[in-house]
Amino acid sequence: MNLKNKTFQQTLNDIISVSGIGLFSGEKVKIKLIPQKEDFGIAFKRIDKDENIKIKADLNFVVDSNRRTTIGVDNITVQMVEHILSALKAYQIDNVLIEVEGSEIPVIDGSSKFFAEKIEEVGIKLQKKEKKIFNLKKPIYFSKGSAHLIALPCEEFKISYTFHHPSSKLLSSQYYSYKVSSQTYKKEIAPSRTFSIYEEIKTLLDNNLIRGGDLNNAVLIKNDKVLNPGGTRFDEEMVRHKILDIIGDLTLIGKDFNAHIIGIKAGHAYNIEFAKLIEQNLI
């Protein structure tokens, strides 16, 4: 535990309500973020299913990590939790209950920008209880094929990411490095949208497995061209979104920690495996 500076737990100043469409289900979904007392942590509740079951934002409750991160208990699941968890981590929100009506978190525009704006709108409440900030006891390495993830001991939480997609000249190489901070998240990371290469998801689209996806909530690339009328928000928007995602996935460790995370061509499934290695090596 790092005792150089005392850090206290935080929650929201007020309730946040959000409604929208689920990217995969295409259904209308609603969520409500409710401030909680110290040591509550972050948890989800499917109030349309069973109000007595809380699903902790914890690696032990991850049930699927294919194209998005899904957590669940007893066949009650919440899909695509990574974007909202990313925003909560960036703003250091420790204690909140997220009530969900629907099977997934609203995709909004495919980024975390709206969540960041709502957090800033209601404000953050500093709580009285101190929180622990952990450190890595040794470097952590994870590799599978061309995907690599590394965590190095560091005095801050920083992510450096390289994204390369061999089938797209447009995505031949993107790099970005970012120190996670509430001061810069809304500007540098939150606006970056989820993205897909049309040729890779055509089968999913043809089989109606991405029912809520359109050019309003994702960057779509076809024949090495961005189909969205406004283009991209950043030259390296895709790799920034990879950073957004990994911040959210690592939040499922359930502990605040300092490390320099280095990522190359990983996705949700590998992020989760990597997070488990980090969890085992925190002091």
In sequence order, which residues have a C-beta less than 8 Å from that of residue 34 and are 6 or more positions away? Answer: 12, 15, 96, 97, 98, 99
CA distance 270 to 254: 17
State residue 5's pLDDT score.
Answer: 62
Residue 248 CB: number of other CB atoms within 10 A? Answer: 25
- Residue 51's alpha-carbon distances to 33, 48, 160, 195, in angstroms, are 15, 8, 39, 33
Q: Which residue has the higher pLDDT, 156 or 204?
A: 156
The predicted structure's pLDDT at residue 224 = 86
More confident residue, 92 or 204: 92
Cα–Cα nearest to 12, from 128, 126, 125, 131: 125
* % of the chain surpassing 90 pLDDT: 86
- Which of helix, strand or coil describes residue 163? strand
Nearest to 60 by CA among 45, 48, 46, 43: 43
Domains of the chain (ranges; CATH) run: 8-132 (3.30.230.20)
The predicted structure's pLDDT at residue 3: 40
The contacts of residue 43 (CB under 8 Å, 6+ apart) are: 54, 55, 56, 57, 97, 98
pTM for the full predicted model: 0.95
pLDDT in tens, 212-263: 888 899 999 998 899 999 999 999 999 999 999 999 999 999 999 999 999 9
pLDDT digits (tens, 9 = 90+) for 182-207: 999 999 999 999 998 888 777 777 77
Helices and strands (H, E) in the chain, number of each type: 6, 19
In angstroms, the CA 278 to CA 140 distance is: 7
User: Is the Cβ–Cβ distance between 240 and 188 less than 8 Å?
Assistant: yes
Q: Token pair of 6, please?
A: 């005392």
- Determine the residue type at 254: G
Tokens of residue 245, six digits = 């995602």
**Partners of 98 in beta bridges:** 33, 44
For residue 85, give both structure tokens.
């968890």
Which residue numbers are catalytic? 268
Q: Which of 146, 187, 163 is nearest to 242 (CA)?
A: 163
